[in-house]
Structure 1
Amino acid sequence: MPGQRKRKQRRLREADRRSLPVGPGRWETLLSTEDHEEFRTFVHRMYAQGLATDPNLVRLDQFCGRLQHPTTYRVSVFVPAPA
């Protein structure tokens, strides 16, 4: 069945994300853009500078657009709640 592997891998990634013991906190958006090249450059620079120490606490989202809404890319990091 076409696309079955992609769906299975996506479900596994989502299950892993939900099982992270991150505790209370929020996702803070660092970048939201419609330009894919700007998105890629930002992510590469973020990892090169060491801003993302734990890849599990970084979320890379792609919101697929249609005719009226363009595709949007977003980079977010998890910020734990103060103790």
Structure 2
Amino acid sequence: MHLEICPQIEEEQILAHTYVGYSNEYPDFTNSSKTVVSTAYRTFSYLKCLHDQRQCFSVLAARSQLNSDSHQLFQEALTNISIIYVKLKKEDTG
């Protein structure tokens, strides 16, 4: 899987869509969860692309030093951000 950040898509737009997606899917969406999603997004943005999602996740998990429960949420957040990004990119390119 290879994703490149589309410069036309603003960070706030991706993050807003991520929050909306998580709020809809998880009614008990907490500030703690938002922090993990936010961390996942910031690191995702910093890397600019995902050449190998598994490899990147290992690096991200090590960087953030999350506990095992957070690892799962972090993985979900990263996957969700990837899906949302692809959706936004498709909408952006028409």
- Calculate the TM-score normalised by the size of structure 2: 0.35
Which structure carries more strand by proportion? 1
- Which structure is higher in RCO with an 8 Å CA cutoff and minimum separation 6? 2
